[in-house]
Structure 1
Amino acid sequence: MPEPRDAFDETFPCDFYEPSDLFEPELLYTIPEIGRLLQGLNPDAEVDPETEAVLVDWAVPWVLVNADDLVVAEPRTENGPGYYGLAEHAFDEETTEKS
């Protein structure tokens, strides 16, 4: 249900991490792990199922918006999750920027 804007004390800019700021170049992450990273948590942090659902809700659109800078690996098992990581060009840009 929508809420009136004046029901909130404050609003914040909707800024999200760039993939190169969030991911380690040599690692691939699942959607729940990405959700944790977006909230400043370790990818393996323990969270309750309700929190995990919210984190996934944040992670899915982030992956879609940043798809040009990501790669995806097929699940390791038939019913397992997919894994996402930095595309080579995004990693190269990060390396160039830090040089």
Structure 2
Amino acid sequence: MPRQKTEFDDLRPLAFREPDEVLDGDRMYTIYEIGRLLQGLEPDADLDVETENVLMDWAIPWMLKHADQFVFAEPEDDSEPGYYGLA
């Protein structure tokens, strides 16, 4: 349900960082790790499934917007996620 802006104490502009501000150029990350990093968390932070899903809602569009700045590596096994890094 929509809420009135006056109900919130802190309104900030929506700003996304550039990939090189979030990722180390020498490392490869899973989409789950990237989602955590975008929120300022450690890549191996223990999260519940619901929180992980919310982070994916942010990480996937961010990666698509910056797709030309990423490289992809196939997972070692079909049951594992792929890895992404800076191009």
TM-score range relative to shorter protein = 0.7 to 0.9
Q: 1:26 and 1:54 mapped to 2: Cα distance? A: 27
Per-residue CA shift, 1:47-72, capped at 9, x if unaligned? 11111111111110111011111111
Q: CA deviation at 1:5?
A: 4.2
- List alignment gaps of at least 5 residues for structure 1: 88-99
- List alignment gaps of at least 5 residues for structure 2: none
For the aligned residue pairs, the C-alpha RMSD in angstroms reads 1.5
Q: 1:4 and 1:63 mapped to 2: Cα distance? A: 31
Select the structure with the greater relative contact order (CA < 8 A; seq sep ≥ 6).
Answer: 2
**How many residues align structurally?**
87
TM-score, scaled relative to structure 2 = 0.87
Letter in 2 for 1:53: N
Q: 2:78 and 2:50 mapped to 1: Cα distance? A: 25
TM-score, scaled relative to structure 1 = 0.77
Q: Which has the higher helix share?
A: 1
Q: Percent identity?
A: 55
Q: 1:25 and 1:74 mapped to 2: Cα distance? A: 18
